[in-house]
Amino acid sequence: STSKCPIAVAHNGNLTNAQGLKLLLQNRGAIFHSTTDTEVILHLIAHQPHKQPLDALLDSLVRLRGAYSLAMILGNRLVAARDPWGFRPLVLGRRENIHYISSETCALNLVGASVVREIEPGEVIIIGDDGVHSIRLPVEPKRRFGCAFEFVYFARPDSVISGRSVYAVRKELGRKLAKRAPCREASLVTGMPDSGTIASLGYAEESGVPYEQSVVRNRYVGRTFIEPTSRVRHLGVRIKLNPITEVLQGKNVVVVDDSIVRGTTCERMISMIKSCGANQVHVRISSPPVRFPCYYGIDTPTRVELAAARMNLQQLEQEVGADSLAYITEEDLLEAIGLPAQSVCTACFSGDYMEGGEEYEPQL
Ligand code: SF4
């Protein structure tokens, strides 16, 4: 809490100028208790004791670069703020006289609230006893950067982002993949659970090859690529996925997955499917190759660890042991998302980061 009121904050995203701001604040005597960049926001507020907390927050937000979708309690007010680039989604919901702030619309369904609207990039919403107020941050970005990967992998399929159903986009990605990379030998299409499943349904629908669920995911194990060590990651894949021999034996299998990050999961999955007696395994990826790290809140590895940054397609195909490997293009991805290219971030595929990239440091 500050001298004026208690504060609680939930932050989705990563600030690209957090390090610079942290150094500056430390030079002014701030003592940080964590490595999270969310703490930078709190120190920025605390270092403006002469202002009301809301004004201090607004002045702090103007100094931030990168991704932040925030839900905050500021005294007796609920505040939501979304960065001017619009990296991460943020929605306002309502049930009777209760307001909700959520990253995704699916969370509102859970509590029986309806979606009021998306919080706009660069918008701050203040909810208090006197109603709901909206403020615009005085930051004008050259373009928007809504995360394409939310549609590919991160968001839940039962969510709607920028008016687009995540489920519908994933299925369309699968259809586009089937057109771009058909597989004549295929006897069945399957999806890597869970995020490849919907795209694999689209692939099966478009190609006319039957869909089978052939790999079962253990729902109690987390996402493997953000596990800390390689030993834990390998173990994670084994615990996470179990193929069904009866479905796979003697078959030429098209496996659709959402992405290849380090390549560990893909390699393990192919060897598991082959050990169940599958003749051929053809891998189809419903995103372009991930060649660049994300600086906006997704904990992807460094460039040297990214499989598609280290190897070309043929090398990667060999490395993971696939009979063939193909991706969709960035153009396909943008078409499936259906939003203007200038409003979508594809930096982890293209390296096209926001202006100034991760080096950007504002003047204070
Ligand atoms: S770099 Fe990739 S994961 Fe990160 S915000 Fe952009 S599209 Fe999303």
pLDDT digits (tens, 9 = 90+) for 327-342: 999 999 999 999 999 9
Whether residue 181 is predicted with pLDDT greater than 80 in this model: the reply is yes
Per the DSSP assignment, residues forming a β-bridge with 93 are: 100, 115
Q: What is the pLDDT of residues 300-319, one digit of tens each?
A: 788 889 999 999 999 999 99
Over the stretch 52-102, which tens digit does the pLDDT of each residue have?
999 999 999 999 999 999 999 999 999 999 999 999 999 999 999 999 999
How far, in Å, from the CA of 301 to the mean position of ligand 1?
12
Q: Is the beta carbon of 85 within 6 A of some atom in ligand 1?
A: no
DSSP-H helix ranges across 252-321: 264-275, 307-310, 313-320
- Give Cβ neighbours of residue 77 (< 8 Å, ≥ 6 apart): 54, 126, 127, 128
Position 104 pLDDT exceeds 70: yes
* Domains 7-141 and 167-339 in one fold: no
- Cα separation, 17 vs 64, whole angstroms: 7
7-141: which CATH number, 3.40.50.410, 3.40.50.720, 3.60.20.10, 3.40.50.970?
A: 3.60.20.10
Pick the CATH number of 167-339 from 3.40.50.720, 3.40.50.2020, 2.40.50.140, 3.40.50.300: 3.40.50.2020
Binding site membership of 87 for ligand 1 (Cβ less than 6 Å):
yes
- pLDDT at residue number 238: 64
CA angle 275-326-161, nearest 5°? 105
Give me the residues paired with residue 164 across strands: 161
Residue 244 has pLDDT above 80, yes or no: yes
Could you tell me what percent of the chain has a pLDDT over 90?
82
Q: What is the pLDDT of residue 363?
A: 40
Our answer on whether the CB atom of 68 is closer than 6 Å to any ligand 1 atom is: no
- Residue type for position 239: I
Q: Is the CB of 333 under 6 A from ligand 1?
A: no
Which residues, in sequence order, are CB contacts of 338 under 8 Å at separation 6+? 164, 169
- Structural domain boundaries of the chain? 7-141, 167-339
Cα 50 to Cα 308: distance, rounded to the nearest angstrom: 51
How distant, in Å, are the alpha carbons of 257, 286, 306 from that of 350? Answer: 19, 15, 14
Secondary structure of residue 136 in the 3-state scheme: strand
Per-residue pLDDT at 246 exceeds 90: yes
Q: How far is the CA of 269 from the centre of ligand 1 (A)?
A: 25
Q: pLDDT tens digits, residue range 141-160?
A: 989 999 999 999 999 999 99
Ligand 1 in contact with 346 (CB < 6 A)?
yes
Q: How far apart are the first and last CA of the chain?
A: 24
What's the pLDDT at 358? 43
Looking from the CA of residue 353, the nearest atom of ligand 1 is 1
pLDDT band at 234 (very low <50, low <70, confident <90, very high): low
Counting from 1 in the atom list of ligand 1, the atom nearest the Cα of 293 is: 1
Token pair, residue 189, equals: 């299409």
Reduced to 3 states (helix: H, G, I; strand: E, B; else coil), residue 18 is helix
Of all protein residues, the one whose alpha carbon is nearest to atom 8 of ligand 1 is 147
- The 10s digit of each residue's pLDDT in 273-292 is 999 999 999 999 999 999 99
**Which residue's C-alpha comes closest to atom 5 of ligand 1?**
147
Residue 298 pLDDT class (50, 70, 90 cuts)? confident
Averaged pLDDT, 183-188: 96
CB-ligand 1 contact for 354 (6 Å cutoff): no
